[in-house]
Amino acid sequence: MNADRLPPVAPEVTATLVENLSPRLRKRLDAAVTKLGARTTRRDGDTVTIEVDDETELRLYAPGGVVATTDAITCGCLLAPACVHRAAAACAAPAADLAPEPVDQPTAEVPDPASVTGFAFASAPAPASVTDPASATDRTPATGPASATDPASATDRAPLTGPAPTPALGSASSPEVASPDQRAAADALWAAGAAVLEAGVDGAGAVTQSALLRAAHTARLRQLPRAAGAALSVVTLLRAARAGDPSYRTADLVTALAELLGTAHRVRTASGPELAAVRGRARRPYSPDGSLRLYGLFTEPVVTDSGHGGVRTWVAGSDGRLFTVGDVAPGGVGRALGVADRAVRLGDSALTHRELGRAGLAVAGATVSPDGRLGAGKGVKAVTARGAAWTEPPLAALWETPPSEQATRALRSVSRYADPDGGGSDLLFLDVELLGAVRESGGSCLLARCAGGVHVRLTVADDDPALAHRDNVALLAAAPGTRLRIIGRLVPAPHPRLTLLACSHPSSEGTIDLGFDRLRRADLPDPTAPVHLAPPRPGGAGAHSPLYLLERRVEQTVPAGRAALGMLGDVTAETRRIRRAGLPTAAGLLTALCASAARRDRDLFGRLLPADTDGFATYWLAAARYTAAVAESLCSAAWEPTQEGAR
């Protein structure tokens, strides 16, 4: 049985069914979930039936597509309703997000990078202390987008554990702080996240996930949608990891866990405007933006691991702001190819997405989300207008910003903990000279040189052979010396790296959507003289950074839990190497993290005391946030002009 064939179940329903099980049945729950996964299902309207055995059926009733009450899951076995089957079915089904959607949103909206789980992550700088990860400073590169201070907030220097200080109330000037109920909800989220770190993926079964779902439900009721979303993301990724989903990546679960723990901590300590940001929004707001004159840039296919497909068309306003119009729904790459030639769902425009990428729009009554998505409400009016070439105003101005400034801006958008309401774009607009193909550990990519002498690696946006990305990049790699104007998406790495999305060159008419348009040799200029190019410089300031020694320990905790990290033994050699590279805080965090994982105190009678899960979670969170901040700083520094380029 595929979990996707089951209707989503509300988090509180799953939590209640698991909590009502007897201790004996809870021990059998994970085995019951696995066994139930092998059974066949059938759907009849709003009801999904699972054949538990030859004589017993389990039914999930989902009016509106969601199982919203415990009574909606029924079982025909003799032990029902106190049987393990109902809880197992709820645990096998996807977790539903019952947050209301805005009335004025696009009919089909392009999902965020986190759309598979349905949530985005909050922004927070990384920590810096070893003895107190929330209070010390670090020698992180000054070019980075975030400072190394506290694992949850640059301005928050309170300890991560223990009760948070309560500012004096009763004064009109006192900043708003979290209510006692919100702090209690944050404490429950912290405890649930720490329990996942303690157990690891292998030990975080249905009971541990149920605690996360209960904490997420409570957080949503206490008006903490961001923290609730982070908890549901952790549950979704845990289930993917335990099911062997090929799209699962440990790094994604690391990010989700760090977001959950960091947000829970910030709820307890934040105040004023910071608290409002930490609470988050239950739905994506679309704000009125008056009349807009838009110019098409390009259209890209969108294909997600969850089986969704569609397109995203990028347009720019007369002031240089970037906006998107999307159409994404279940359907995969086949839908992406078909939707590209469908009409844009925006006002009265008859343009298709491909046409809009080269034309223009005049929009009245526009509504825009914080990340630039254009709303498609009834009050929005749009008519076709003249577009502009990439070399004409106002689009030409996008290529005039230095690459280093563009990279710094884009890095704020693609950061692991980017603020979902922070806006901004992850696109870079560059004039490049192609240098040819270069080999990497994972294959090969196209090397190019942009302003400032910076060597950029251009990679394929999507390897699916049905799309044109792969063939186009291969053809471009065979034409060294070609000068192009390109649009790419920043890939955070110790060296400059982009996924190539669109290009244009003087001999072509218009722009080329590299996901849809297939280039031919005749489309590219043929250099009339041999090209003598300087070899690329080393991969950048962070190309050989030993930061990975700390990063891999952070990731190793997630699959096997705290105990596995505690058995690593002496890490002196690793910390010495990190210190020699000028990262003393990273060395200290590695020492403290491993020591905390191995520490088990005893009572007066020599019996082992329970492990300090809060303390370990504190150091793990500090290390996760720290490595993210340093990696982003190194990425930003790699885009700085070279000495040769500066001359």
Max distance between CA atoms of the chain, in angstroms, equals 86
Decide if pLDDT at 41 tops 80: yes
Quote the CA–CA distance of 257 and 189 in Å, as a whole number: 11
Alpha carbon distance 555, 254 (integer Å): 7
pLDDT of 543 strictly over 60: no
Q: Is 563 exposed, middle or buried (0-12, 13-18, 19+ CB in 10 A)?
A: middle
For the ranges 153-157, 183-187, 192-196, the lowest mean pLDDT is seen at 153-157
Per residue in 50-64, pLDDT (tens digit) is: 998 888 899 999 998
Query: By C-alpha distance, which of 513, 209, 570, 585 is closest to 336?
Result: 513
Q: What integer is the mean pLDDT of 153-182?
A: 53
Is residue 513 scored above 90 in pLDDT? yes
Instruction: Please give the residue that has the higher pLDDT: either 418 or 82.
Output: 82
- Which pLDDT belongs to residue 429? 97
> Which are the contacts of 462, defined by CB distance < 8 A and separation ≥ 6?
301, 303, 469, 515
- Residue 628 in tokens: 């993210």
| Residue 556 and residue 565 in contact, taking contact as beta carbons nearer than 8 Å | yes
Asked whether residue 432 carries a pLDDT value surpassing 90, the answer given is yes
Task: Let me know: does 401 contact 417? Beta carbons within 8 Å.
Answer: no
Indicate the residue type of 628: A
Confidence of residue 4 (pLDDT cuts 50, 70, 90): low
CB 511 within 8 A of CB 504: yes
| pLDDT for the residue 526 | 61
Could you give the 3-state DSSP secondary structure of residue 200?
helix
Token pair recorded at residue 255: 């990010």
Q: Residue 489 and residue 243: Cα distance in Å, rounded?
A: 31
Which strand ranges, in their side-by-side order, compose the sheet holding 360-368? 322-330, 308-317, 287-303, 360-368, 381-385
Inter-residue contact 363 to 271 (CB < 8 Å): no
CB atoms within 10 A of CB 597: 26
Q: How far is residue 6's CA from residue 58's CA, in Å, rounded to a whole number?
A: 12
d(CA 281, CA 228): 11
Q: What Rg, from alpha-carbon coordinates, does the chain have? A: 26
Give me the residue label for tokens 């790094």. 251
Model pLDDT, residue 106: 37
Helix 206-221 vs helix 225-242: angle between axes, to the nearest 10 degrees?
160
246-297 pLDDT per residue, tens: 889 999 999 999 999 999 999 988 888 888 888 887 776 788 888 999 999 9
Average pLDDT, the chain: 82
Q: 509 Cβ partners below 8 Å, 6+ apart? A: none
Lowest mean pLDDT across 61-75, 105-119, 303-317: 105-119
Q: What is the pLDDT of residue 39?
A: 87
Residue pair 367/380 in contact by the 8 Å Cβ criterion: yes
20 CB-near residues (< 8 Å, 6+ apart)? 82, 87
pLDDT of residue 21: 94
Average the pLDDT over 496-519 and give the result. 86
d(CA 520, CA 476): 10
pTM of the predicted structure, to 2 decimals: 0.80
Residue pointed to by tokens 């739905």: 283
For residue 461, what pLDDT is reported? 93
- The arithmetic mean of pLDDT across residues 95-113, rounded, is 46
| pLDDT at residue number 116 | 29
Query: What is the band of 144 on the pLDDT scale with cuts at 50, 70, 90?
Result: very low
